[in-house]
Chains A and B, each alone.
Chain A
Amino acid sequence: MPSDPPSHPPSHPLEARHVLEFPGGYTRSTGPVIGRFLTELRDRRIVGVRTAGARVLVPPLEYDPDTGEAVTGEYVEVGPAGTVQAWAWVSAPRPAHPLDRPFAWATIRLDGADTALVHAVDAGGPKAMRPGMRVRPRWRDRTSGTITDIECFVPEVTMITAPIRTEYRVRPGAALTRFLERIGDGVLLGGRCAGCDQVYVPYRTSCPACGALIEEEREVADTGTVTTFAINNLPDPRAPEVPFVSAYILLDGADIPMIALVGGIPAHEVRQGMRVRAVWVPPEERTMSMADIRWFAPTGEPDADLSAGTPGGGA
């Protein structure tokens, strides 16, 4: 197939290597039109030539490809940027190719030109290529007046990555501090709005429904019911392994579910209505954070019926 070396039957004893080469290269005169282009290229400028019909040919030809007439003597600087028209991706460069890593061949219409230049584009991967993309030449360190003075074209800058990092010192606020203090004691603390008769967990000092001050602390159970859940396949520093399950758990005695990890059970067996209990880390290892609850694990009780209002609520 095409990338393979010429195919042979098993090596023949009389098979010989034959090389055709012009040592030092074959000398060719450029003529005035191509010579002008290559001379300008050596000075890192790209020029086209104007036809009698006022089109600009890049690279310049001695004749107008539409009419066959000789071109005018007027040279116009174009580019250096241009627009990709069509491209073909080379994933396995060959020794004679201009780049030794994957690249695209492209027809590129340089700004100010009416025809396209064929050259290579160093774009990293084929996903970076698209018709209409803007490119600019990458010049060789030393130019000598050949088309390869342009090593290749590279995409114009259209994106940057902006590093952002800043540090803070945060504290949990009064209500959450109170909640976390009790977590350290192995207790889940809620707050009851007297007006709404709703128990919120974690504890908070105002009712999100009516706005009234919450004055009554209410301890709730560390058992509850999974109301909904998600199986996470992306690692998270707060989870022990992937996949892990994060779930809304309606604690017994609360009216609003709380989000927490579920563990101790294969992820695919977690279900709505499943009864769970907090797995606390030993008291001496507690840090007054949610990490004091390793996760919620199944209690083994029959599943609760979620359609029946508040399952396990107010127990």
Chain B
Amino acid sequence: MRDVAIVAFAQTTHTGHDAGLTEAEMLHPVIDEVRRATGLSRFGFTCSGSCDYLAGAPFSFVSALDALGAWPPISESHVEMDAAFALYEAWVRLQHGDIDSALVYGFGKSSTGDLREIMTLQLDPYYLAPLGLDQVSYAALQAAALGGDRPDLRAALDEIVRRSRADGRANPHALDLPDPSGEDAEVQPLRPYDVAPITDGAAAVVLAAGDLARELAENPAYIGGIAHRAEPHYLGVRDLSRSPSAADAARAAGVGKAPVDVAELHVQFSHEELILREALELPEDTVINPSGGPLAANPVMAAGLIRLGEAARRILDGRAGRAVAHATSGPCLQQNLVAVLESAPRPQEGAGRG
């Protein structure tokens, strides 16, 4: 395996409303920022993550290429998923050994449509979508499977939201959201504040392999392990209170091999943090979502990549030695990606072909 590292990360100042920019206009400053940070104007590979249903237009991701300058033709790919999964594709591409750099980006404007119902469109069209099962409703079913309205669960969820929003207020890229309050249910047992806020935003990451990583960054955030696993789609065949796919991915990525300073988890509903903490077997002293996480800013299709970026940033600036990033896709944590980021390349097998 080649050593691959995150060497640059940038994100927008996310907004809770439509700021009047197209996706390409939103994305361009972020691409520009990672280009300036690395000094690279072209990349061996480019991969993006977005969702056409967010904009309601087919191939809407193609117009985002305007933010890159794709002429002369670039080697480019796209996933109809969060851009964290585009990063995985780029990591695989870098393993081929013939290129040394990759640009990964994701973007989304949830403000223009109804995210709860757009997410219904990802469900199977035979058994779930015709019911009109919306995103908050299926998340509430998972929260119910975890323990419903148990007072200790409610207290734990309140604390997760309180901590996430407080951290988000200290993060200039996240939204300014007040401490959680109110006892009304959105879909019982979830309350409105258990749900990640509607957010517009974009993010970009540069990956570099071998020597290039050391040239581009003083402290590259090496990807010590990365894996993703999926569970069956249909909710009724799963134990919704657990995430075996996240646990499998964490084992494959090697989360438990050493202490974890920081974990950035793709928590779009507060109860998911409890499920993921257990699945990833994170130690008590690991700091969870110091950025505030998606409960403080959730630009859909970029929020998972931002977890990788936020975790990497703490290694790039020397504040952490080992960090974990998680991203998810599909209903009720159906598919989970886990990456371990480290300040040093892996001991020996990782010498790579540079």
Measured CB to CB, the nearest residue on chain B to A130 is: B148
> Given A12-B20, A59-B127, A96-B132, do A105 and B186 touch, yes or no (CB 8 Å)?
no
**A65 CB–B CB distance under 8 Å:** yes
Asked whether, in the complex, the Cβ of A94 is within 8 Å of the Cβ of B117, the reply is: yes
- A5 and B126 CA atoms in complex are apart in Å by 27
A171 at interface by CB-CB < 8 Å: no
Give chain B nearest CB distance to A294 CB in angstroms: 47
Do B144 and A6 touch across chains, with their CB atoms under 8 A apart? no
Is the beta-carbon distance between B237 and A115 smaller than 8 angstroms? yes
Q: Is the CB of A6 within 8 A of B114?
A: yes
Alpha-carbon distance between A38 and B234 when the two chains are bound, in angstroms: 16
User: Are A28's CB and B125's CB within 8 A?
Assistant: yes
Q: Is A158 an interface residue (CB 8 A)?
A: no
Q: Which B residues are CB-close (under 8 A) to A2?
A: 116, 136, 186, 192, 195, 198
CA distance A97 to B137 in the complex (A): 10
Question: B6-14, B35-43, B105-113: which one contacts chain A?
Answer: B105-113
Q: How far is the CA of A13 from the CA of B195 in the complex (A)?
A: 31
Q: Of all chain B residues, which has the CB nearest A113?
A: B236
Which residues in window 1-59 of A have CB below 8 A to B? 1-3, 5-9, 12, 18-20, 26, 28, 30, 34, 38, 57-59
Residue among B16, B145, B234, B236 having the largest count of chain A Cβ atoms under 10 Å: B236
**Which A residues are CB-close (under 8 A) to B148?**
86
B198 CB contacts on chain A under 8 angstroms: 2, 6-7
Q: Give the residues from 119 to 165 in chain B that come closer than 8 angstroms, CB to CB, to chain A.
A: 120, 125-128, 130-134, 136-138, 140-141, 143-145, 148
A80 an interface residue at 8 Å Cβ cutoff?
Answer: no
Instruction: Report if A6-B112 is in contact (Cβ < 8 Å); known contacts: A88-B144, A118-B236, A147-B131.
Output: yes
The tally of CB-CB contacts under 8 A between chains A and B is 141
Of B57, B113, B116, B133, the residue contacting A118 (CB under 8 A) is B133
Q: Which residues of A contact B186 (CB under 8 A)?
A: 1-3
B53-A20 in contact (CB<8A): yes
**Residue A287 CB within 8 A of the other chain:** no
Question: In the bound complex, do residue B126 and residue A87 qualify as a contact, i.e. CB atoms below 8 Å apart?
Answer: no
Whether A90 pairs with B236 at a CB distance below 8 angstroms is no
Picked from B126, B137, B237, B238, the residue with its CB within 8 Å of the CB of A30 is B126
Interface range on chain B: under 10, 10 to 19, 20 to 34, or 35 or more?
35 or more
- Interface: B185 (CB within 8 A): yes
* B141 adjacent to A86 (CB under 8 Å): yes
In the assembled complex, the Cα of A18 lies from the Cα of B111 at a distance in Å of 13
Instruction: Tell me how far the C-beta of B54 lies from the nearest C-beta in chain A, rounded to whole angstroms.
Output: 11
Most chain B beta-carbon neighbours within 10 Å: one of A87, A105, A120: A105
Q: A8-B17, A87-B141 are in contact. Are A146 and B130 (CB under 8 A)?
A: yes
Residue A312 lies at the interface, judged by CB distance under 8 Å to chain B: no
Which residues of A are interface residues toward B (Cβ below 8 A)? 1-3, 5-9, 12, 18-20, 26, 28, 30, 34, 38, 57-59, 61, 65, 85-91, 94-98, 105-108, 115-120, 126, 146-148
Residues in B lying within 8 Å of A, measured CB to CB: 16-18, 20, 53, 56-57, 110-114, 116-117, 120, 125-128, 130-134, 136-138, 140-141, 143-145, 148, 185-190, 192-193, 195, 197-198, 231-232, 234-238, 240
15 A–B contacts from the bound complex (CB under 8 Å): A2-B186, A2-B195, A6-B114, A9-B18, A26-B125, A65-B238, A87-B141, A87-B144, A88-B140, A88-B141, A96-B134, A105-B138, A107-B235, A115-B236, A118-B138
